Structure 1
Amino acid sequence: MSETFEKRDDNPQADLTGEAAGLRWLGEAEKDGGIVCSRVVEAGVHRLLEERIDEGAPTREKARLAGAALAHTHAAGAAWYGCPPPGWSGVSYVIGRSLTPVVPDEPAESSGWGAMCAEWRVMPHLRTIRDEGLVDASEVRLLTHVADRMAAGNFDSPEPVLVRSRGHRCSRIHGDLWVGNLLWAADGSRAASTGAALIDPMASGGHAETDLAMLQLFGCAYLDDLLASYNEVSPLADGWRERVGIHQLVPVLLHCVLFGESYVGLALSIARRYA
């Protein structure tokens, strides 16, 4: 089997150098106990050559190793919510026809997670699904109301203990951490020490709870063990379980953009819980 994996994206708007920058940035945390990331071999706008991760079956022990290592990756920190990985001058991550913008400059005033998320994540996706007729006027009002509550800081919470203890404003997050981007390591492989490895990031400054909520959205083997191990290494703020849904709203809205009405009901169900 080849030791490398080639990824191509011919979308005219694509820029795989952003994904490469994210892998390198996340990978910087490995020296301090962070989770292993696929190493970049070559990167261009439409082509990314990276290390192939040797995969194995998930186990409870691997999940615990991965949870602890992910806590250390988050604790590597970032300068502001929404900031891009260093060394990348792009403006958005591209998935299919959807754009997930980064926040290129530090806000003039200290901006929390909710303010960034409402302006740069929720509302752009909402405008897209509104314009495509996937939501009616009352549903737009509901989602806008939740975005307004986010912007007001109603769902903001402290970062995990390890992030704050290292003096960081926000976490260094993967940004698209569904289970397909968490590869369980083969025994004896480079990633075996952290139980799993990360691929395909949309890395940025963000809230640690966003990555954890994404893992819970579509299911993950031995998830309870992963979360417990994370929480032991870097305790989460009180009430984090009640905030899982609000941190899932953006990826669900993104799925509405990508896949249409099949995800709209879930987005509205989340919104009603936080309205």
Structure 2
Amino acid sequence: MDVPAHLAHLTGTPVAHLHPLGHSHAWTLHRADMTDGRELFVKAIDDTDSGIDGILTAEAAGLRWLATGHAGLVPTVVAADERMLVLPWQPPQPADPTAAEHLGHNLATLHTLHPETLGAPWPGYIATLPLDNTPGTGEWGTWYAEHRLAPYLPAAAPELGRDGQRLIERVIDRITDLAGPPEPPARLHGDLWSGNILWSRGRALLIDPAAHGGHRETDLAMLALFGAPHLDRILGAYQDTAPLSSGWRQRVPLHQLHPLLVHVVLFGGSYRGMLLAAAASALAG
């Protein structure tokens, strides 16, 4: 794809300079200096016939949906289509403890603005994998088992072996007992590991969402999975704003099962041990 030409077409402004930033998964990343003085971040896909032709429109939909809950938490979508996503350029900075506290407060505020259903009204993706956003109005645990765990189990099974697969199936079988007290759906980022927090200009922005209505503990469990900076400050501010239900720490492994299953499918058996340990912890509850 001719990235400058397509960017100019989407934004209505010629490109002065395009700076490559590498690639991630199936897309390339760029910083663009526009002739009108704007600096933009660009994510571009060359081949939209690869089975991920809706991935950037899903990301744009998620960002816009999250912005209706808390505009200050996510970048504004400048433009998007199936081949390109354009956001304002945000110069990255080191993680800031004060910004982390604001993130905890803002995330709690976002989570208390409840969507009508679980899931989302668009087909989702997490990384390059389809994400079943079928809306649901029942209990979160059943929806999570059916739409976040079971769909990835067949692809992960060769890495898990029969015993590992059965362990995940036991979680699915017991999901009603493990899910904790009922809560209304929360507006989730959905893939909130530390790499999807952009620290810039004294604040924390959430990027690359797999946004949907789900259980608010999911976002917090994902923050803990690979170690977010200043996590104690994030959680402290969150608890001050919207305290979590009793036993939430024991449920962290349950919420981490979905991203760990995704990692096994995408990256193989190196994540098998983490996944099965989380499953065992979830069952021990």
For Structure 1 versus Structure 2, the TM-score category normalised by the shorter chain is 0.7 to 0.9
Match for residue 92 of structure 1?
124
Task: Indicate which of 276, 280, 283 corresponds to 1:272.
Answer: 280
Paired with 2:280 and 2:126, the residues of 1 have a C-alpha distance of 28
**CA shift for structure 1 position 155:** 1.5
Is 2:96 aligned against 1:59?
yes
Is the CA contact 2:189–2:211 (under 8 Å) kept in the aligned structure 1?
Answer: yes
Question: What is the RMSD computed on CA atoms of the aligned residues?
Answer: 1.7
Is the CA contact 2:178–2:282 (under 8 Å) kept in the aligned structure 1?
Answer: no
Match for residue 45 of structure 1?
82
| Superposed CA offset, 1:102-142 (max 9, x none) | 11x4x4xx411111111111111111112xx2122222111
Paired with 2:232 and 2:275, the residues of 1 have a C-alpha distance of 24
Amino acid across the alignment from 1:127: P
Match for residue 5 of structure 1?
41
Q: What aligned pairs does 1:1-275 form with structure 2 within 5 A after superposition?
A: 2=33, 3-9=39-45, 10=47, 11-15=50-54, 16-30=56-70, 35-84=72-121, 88=122, 91-93=123-125, 95-96=127-128, 98-103=129-134, 105=135, 107=136, 110-130=137-157, 133-150=158-175, 152-159=176-183, 169-187=184-202, 195-275=203-283
The unaligned stretches of length 5 or more in structure 2 are 1-30, 34-38
Note closer, same or farther for the CA distance 1:66–1:124 as it changes in structure 2 (3 Å cut): same
Amino acid across the alignment from 1:202: A
1 or 2, which has the higher strand percentage? 2
Identity score, percent: 40
Q: SS at 2:250's partner residue?
A: helix
| Superposed CA offset, 1:48-100 (max 9, x none) | 1112223322222111111001111112221122233xxx4xx231523x221
TM-score of the superposed pair, with normalisation by structure 1: 0.83
Q: SS at 1:136's partner residue?
A: helix
Paired with 1:267 and 1:114, the residues of 2 have a C-alpha distance of 18
Q: SS at 2:78's partner residue?
A: strand
Match for residue 163 of structure 1?
none
| Superposed CA offset, 1:179-205 (max 9, x none) | 111111214xxxxxxx21111111000
Paired with 1:236 and 1:158, the residues of 2 have a C-alpha distance of 12
Is the CA contact 1:13–1:94 (under 8 Å) kept in the aligned structure 2?
Answer: no
Paired with 1:117 and 1:137, the residues of 2 have a C-alpha distance of 22
**How many residue pairs align between the two structures?**
243
